[in-house]
Chains A and B, each alone.
Chain A
Amino acid sequence: MTWELFVFLFLAASALISAFFVVDSKEIVHSVIALATCFISIACMFVMLSAEFVAIVQILVYVGAVVVVILFGIMLTKREIMESGKR
């Protein structure tokens, strides 16, 4: 098992698991954090494919846009965390 295969498997698992959490988590901001993890894993995969420029643009555009997604998530959803005593 070469180290490239090992790193690829790690990144693939990270991307898939975080993509699952995007769909699965109840809290919308948790989804967005998982989405950012997914994007960063994919950017690392682009680096492994020696496409560094695509990786940089992936981080610059997508991870930057995640902030806007959080803003919309906060703006358009009901905020129950403030009131609920469970957490």
Chain B
Amino acid sequence: MNLFEFSYGIIHWLVDLVNNLWYWLGDVLPWVFGDFFDAVGDFAASHGHIAVMAMLVEALIIIIIGLVNVLNFIWIDRKFMIITPAKVDRMGFLLAPVIFVGSSIAAMCTIPMGFEFYVGTNDTPYSSYPLPGGPEYPGVPASALVAFALFAIAPFAILTAGWSSNNKYTLIGGLRSAAQMMSYEIPMLLCVASVVLLAGSFSFFGIVEAQHDIWFAIPLFLGFIVFLTCLVAEVEIQPFDLPEAEAELVEGWTTEYGGARFGLFMMTGYLRGYIGGALAVAMFLGGWHGPAIIPDPIWFLIKAYIVFVVIEWMRWSVPRVRVDQILNIGWKRLLPLAMLNLLIAAILRTLEVF
């Protein structure tokens, strides 16, 4: 017996109970409305009415179970966990999780998972930049740029959190995070520029459509590797997790946070891992293209999760790099490779391979 049948039974029992009284009232007071009592009683006992009420009761039970859990967690959190240290800067301390979570979720919303599966404000298609009069796509205008713009707000939140926690370890973590994210953003955006050059569109729809015949990871293999490395550095996963190096800084820039606020940071860290996977899939691994047995959004999710698992796999198999090495890798290795990749993309575009 499932929940619906259970609530159907309860409603049926209640209706029978009330209808006994109701028909008895109709017998006692026949002169008031005539057939009114019978009609209402028959409607109440009909299958459709009972089914609708049973669905409402089912939803109510589910919502109540959820709300009781939420109340329990809120109570536990407020009772034991939420600690705002006395000497923190309250404005930055309370604002940083909001900025971090909000910008990351907004970045996730701009990534479509298929031609019928995207977040958009209306049905008016936007023209795809940079070509005016080119093909028009729905959803967010220039969605690839929007995703990277929102993805790039995170160091602001991290630096605010690190500064306002009023603790030297959090400040060092925040500064490291700012240096790392800003220096790895440049090769990452250069790889995105090469993809946009080949696809001729700033929209994820256009980029994925251009990969119908061949994934961009094959002609731009170098760019794919550089992009993946920069992605790992952007989402602060193990080989590049200097901002929260447990052995050096206590817990990095999240040291002073506890309870639900730390939970938000932790959740958003993994959410950014997924966003990174989704970006890599949409940019290089053909998006939602695949054999038609599986629907498009499922293909997209499968590929994104595979990239996410590869990133996590790196986390537990590679040691952490040092803080001087990280800037050397970023500026002396990845930046020239990204420029080389842009050159390859320009040559492919000039030879009209794409």
Interface residues of A (CB under 8 A from B): 27, 29-30, 33, 36, 52-53, 56-57, 59-60, 63-64, 66-68, 70-71, 74, 81-82, 85, 87
Check B141 against A53 for contact (C-beta < 8 Å).
Answer: yes
Check B156 against A56 for contact (C-beta < 8 Å).
Answer: no
Q: A64 to chain B: closest CB distance in Å? A: 5
Interface: B152 (CB within 8 A)? yes
Could you give 20 example pairs across A and B, Cβ below 8 Å? A29-B163, A29-B164, A33-B91, A33-B95, A33-B160, A52-B126, A56-B141, A56-B145, A56-B149, A59-B153, A60-B148, A63-B149, A63-B153, A64-B182, A67-B178, A70-B178, A71-B159, A81-B89, A87-B90, A87-B166
Interface: B260 (CB within 8 A)? no
Check A36 against B182 for contact (C-beta < 8 Å).
Answer: no
Interface: B297 (CB within 8 A)? no
Interface: B81 (CB within 8 A)? no
Check A70 against B163 for contact (C-beta < 8 Å).
Answer: yes
B interface, by DSSP: helix, strand, loop or mixed? helix
Contacts of A52 in B (CB 8 A): 126, 141-142
Q: A59 to chain B: closest CB distance in Å? A: 4
Check B156 against A36 for contact (C-beta < 8 Å).
Answer: yes
Contact partner, A63, options B88, B126, B141, B156, Cβ 8 Å: B156
Check A87 against B163 for contact (C-beta < 8 Å).
Answer: no
| Binary per-residue interface labels of chain B (78-95) against chain A in the complex, 1 for a CB within 8 Å, 0 otherwise | 000000001111111001
Bound Cα distance from A55 to B99, whole angstroms? 18
Interface residues of B (CB under 8 A from A): 86-92, 95, 126, 129, 141-142, 145-146, 148-150, 152-153, 155-156, 159-160, 163-164, 166, 168, 171, 175, 178, 182, 185
- Kindly report which residue of chain A lies nearest to residue B163, judged by CB atoms: A29
Bound Cα distance from A56 to B150, whole angstroms? 9
Bound Cα distance from A33 to B161, whole angstroms? 12
Check B152 against A60 for contact (C-beta < 8 Å).
Answer: yes
Check B92 against A60 for contact (C-beta < 8 Å).
Answer: no
Bound Cα distance from A30 to B164, whole angstroms? 10
- Kindly report which residue of chain B lies nearest to residue A85, judged by CB atoms: B87
Bound Cα distance from A82 to B91, whole angstroms? 16
Bound Cα distance from A29 to B174, whole angstroms? 13
Bound Cα distance from A70 to B99, whole angstroms? 15
Contacts of A70 in B (CB 8 A): 156, 159-160, 163, 178
Bound Cα distance from A87 to B129, whole angstroms? 49
Bound Cα distance from A84 to B160, whole angstroms? 19
Closest 5 CB pairs of A and B: A60-B149, A52-B141, A59-B149, A56-B145, A67-B155
Bound Cα distance from A33 to B178, whole angstroms? 15
Assuming A68-B182, A71-B178, is B150 touching A59 (CB within 8 A)? yes
Contacts of B95 in A (CB 8 A): 33
Bound Cα distance from A81 to B91, whole angstroms? 13
Q: A10 to chain B: closest CB distance in Å? A: 17
Contacts of B160 in A (CB 8 A): 29, 33, 70
Assuming A53-B141, A60-B148, A66-B156, is B91 touching A74 (CB within 8 A)? no
Contacts of B92 in A (CB 8 A): 29-30, 33
Check B88 against A67 for contact (C-beta < 8 Å).
Answer: no
- Kindly report which residue of chain A lies nearest to residue B181, judged by CB atoms: A67
Bound Cα distance from A57 to B90, whole angstroms? 31
Contacts of B149 in A (CB 8 A): 56, 59-60, 63-64
- Kindly report which residue of chain A lies nearest to residue B189, judged by CB atoms: A60
Contact partner, B163, options A53, A74, A85, Cβ 8 Å: A74
Knowing that A67-B178, A71-B175 are A-B contacts, what are 13 other residue pairs whose CB atoms are under 8 Å apart, sorted by A's residue number? A29-B92, A33-B91, A52-B126, A56-B141, A60-B145, A63-B149, A63-B153, A66-B156, A70-B178, A71-B159, A74-B163, A81-B87, A81-B89
